[in-house]
């Protein structure tokens, strides 16, 4: 049964709206001001909020601003109730993040239609999103695996040489005012290396990074490179998948990487059942902000290499280490989550202290794509 939180200071209107909604099968919690209503939203995580604009203590606009600023509830759809003389405020409400509005006095049918439209829209978006992700990941694994395998093996061999390029070519750097950086690292790598031969470990690493490379390439990665046993990926909006923002594509890729790790675990169970291996797990960090792709000349091997640089990149690497200690499989900075409002579900949130940095990073655990229960 969908849950709706109603905020309305007029008792008669509050009773009318509650009665109409309950008759249609919705569960309704009501409050007579925005502050109390906001606390109900935080406690109960409703499917929809219906709020009057003019209320004591906290009006509808202030409530809406606070709701959109809270990552745990920011994706909740909001319908505002406005009187005829407040029509000038409609534009303010919509630009502040409201999903719809109803003008008082309204008919019960208008209320039903507005509530149904928001709930149906959420259901449809979640269903389409899930279908698209599942189909895309499967297509990537089937159609692109062989095409990309040689590229990833070459990158892996290059990173293992641990030879840093010389600094030059700054004039050719690519700079992005906002990009999403993904860093995934293999947990228990040292334990795997201790129990497997170099040839066996190479097969395991190749199993994961072939699949991982397919996944991030599918979701429009602008740049990929290996950092030790980890993979660093940059997503920007200047790709052929610009219809979906870089943050959401990075989130989808991160979830795909967890699936890739599960496939590698099945591979280990099948090929090395008697080795007593630790579980094959990965942890992922996501962060958004300015990123530069520095083009550097390599005097040892010739040609140019690309190195992602900037505070966003370094913070992502540090966040992955700290998130693993917090048992978060996918950690995402709040800066990244603001770009995917309503599209993902998050768990715990914390100010994460990063070694060598004076300020903590506001981050949360990314659990999955937003689905309507």
Residue-range domains of the chain with CATH: 3-124 (3.40.50.2300), 144-369 (3.30.70.1230)
Q: What was the pLDDT predicted at 129?
A: 60
Determine the average pLDDT of the residues in 308-319: 93
Q: What percentage of the chain has pLDDT greater than the value 90?
A: 40
Strand 282-297 relative to strand 304-309, pairing: antiparallel
Max Cα–Cα distance, the chain, nearest Å:
79
Average pLDDT over residues 67-79: 92
Q: Taking the complete model, does pTM exceed 0.85, yes or no?
A: no
Return the percentage of the chain with pLDDT > 70, whole number: 79
Q: Between these two residues, 346 and 173, which has the higher pLDDT value?
A: 346
Cα separation, 267 vs 280, whole angstroms: 10
pLDDT for the residue numbered 88:
58
The pLDDT, as a whole number, for residue 138 is 64
Whole-number pLDDT of residue 288: 95
- pLDDT classification of 166: cutoffs 50, 70, 90: very low
Report the pLDDT value the prediction gives residue 292, as an integer from 0 to 100: 92
Q: How far apart are CA 258 and CA 252, in angstroms?
A: 10
Q: What integer pLDDT is reported at residue 164 of this predicted model?
A: 41
Q: Which residue has the higher pLDDT, 305 or 151?
A: 305
Whether the pLDDT of residue 135 is over 80: the answer is no
Summarize the confidence of residues 198-212 as an average pLDDT. 84
Name the CA radius of gyration of the chain, rounded: 24
- Model confidence at 213, pLDDT cuts 50, 70, 90, reads confident
> Does residue 140 surpass a pLDDT of 90?
no
Mean pLDDT of all residues belonging to the chain: 82
For residue 85, the model assigns a pLDDT of: 55
98: confidence class by pLDDT, cuts 50, 70, 90: confident
* pLDDT confidence bin for 1, thresholds 50/70/90: confident
Query: Predicted confidence band at 242 (pLDDT cuts at 50, 70, 90)?
Result: very low
Q: Using one digit for the tens of pLDDT, what is the confidence trace for 270-313? A: 888 888 888 888 999 999 999 999 888 766 555 678 889 999 99
* Adjacent-strand bridge partners of 51: 7, 80
Confidence class for position 324, pLDDT limits 50, 70, 90 = confident
Q: Looking at the predicted structure, is the pLDDT value of residue 169 above 60?
A: no
Instruction: Give the integer Cα–Cα distance in Å for 111 and 359.
Output: 46
Crossing angle of helices 60-68 and 34-44, rounded to 10°? 30
What mean pLDDT do residues 7-23 have? 94
CA nearest 216: which of 158, 248, 257, 159? 257
pLDDT at 72: 93
What residues have CB less than 8 Å from 369, skipping those under 6 apart? 126, 129, 130, 133, 251, 252, 255, 343, 344, 345
Tell me which DSSP letter residue 169 carries: -
Residue 144: pLDDT above 90?
A: no
Burial zone of 131 (CB within 10 Å; 0-12 exposed, 13-18 middle, 19+ buried): exposed
CA 345 to CA 367: how far, in whole Å? 5
| Segment holding 212, helix H or strand E | helix 198-218
Nearest to 85 by CA among 56, 57, 54, 59: 54
């Amino acid at each position: 049964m969908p849950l709706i939180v109603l905020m309305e200071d007029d008792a008669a209107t509050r009773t009318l709206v509650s009665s109409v909604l309950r008759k249609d099968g919705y569960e309704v919690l009501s409050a007579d001001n925005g502050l109390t209503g906001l606390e109900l939203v935080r406690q109960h995580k409703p499917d929809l909020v219906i709020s009057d604009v003019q209320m004591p203590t906290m009006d509808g606009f202030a409530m809406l601003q606070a709701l959109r600023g809270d990552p745990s509830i920011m994706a909740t759809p909001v319908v505002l109730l406005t009187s005829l003389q407040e029509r000038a405020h409609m534009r303010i409400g919509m630009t502040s993040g409201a999903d719809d509005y109803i003008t008082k006095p309204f008919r019960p049918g208008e209320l039903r239609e507005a509530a149904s439209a928001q709930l149906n829209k959420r259901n449809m978006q979640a269903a389409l999103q899930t279908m698209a992700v599942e189909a895309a990941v499967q297509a990537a694994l089937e159609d692109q695996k062989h095409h990309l395998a040689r590229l990833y093996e070459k990158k892996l061999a290059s990173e293992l040489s641990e030879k840093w390029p010389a600094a030059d070519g700054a004039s050719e750097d690519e700079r992005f005012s906002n990009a999403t950086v993904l860093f995934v690292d293999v947990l228990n790598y040292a334990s795997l290396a201790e129990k497997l031969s170099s040839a066996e470990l190479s097969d395991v690493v190749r199993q994961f990074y072939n699949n991982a490379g397919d996944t991030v390439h599918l979701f429009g990665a602008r740049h990929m490179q290996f950092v030790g046993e980890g993979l660093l990926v940059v997503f920007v909006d200047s790709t052929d998948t610009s219809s979906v923002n870089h943050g959401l594509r990075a989130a989808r890729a991160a979830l795909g990487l967890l699936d890739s790790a599960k496939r590698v675990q099945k591979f280990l169970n099948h090929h090395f059942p008697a080795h007593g291996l630790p579980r094959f797990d990965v942890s992922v960090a996501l962060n958004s902000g300015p990123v530069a792709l520095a083009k550097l000349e390599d005097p040892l091997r010739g040609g140019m290499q690309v190195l992602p640089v900037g505070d966003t990149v370094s913070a992502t690497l540090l966040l992955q280490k700290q998130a693993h200690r917090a048992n978060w499989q996918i950690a995402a900075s709040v800066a990244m989550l603001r770009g995917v409002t309503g599209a993902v579900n998050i768990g715990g949130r914390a100010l994460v202290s990063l070694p060598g940095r004076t300020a903590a990073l506001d981050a949360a655990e990314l659990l999955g794509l937003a689905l309507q229960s």
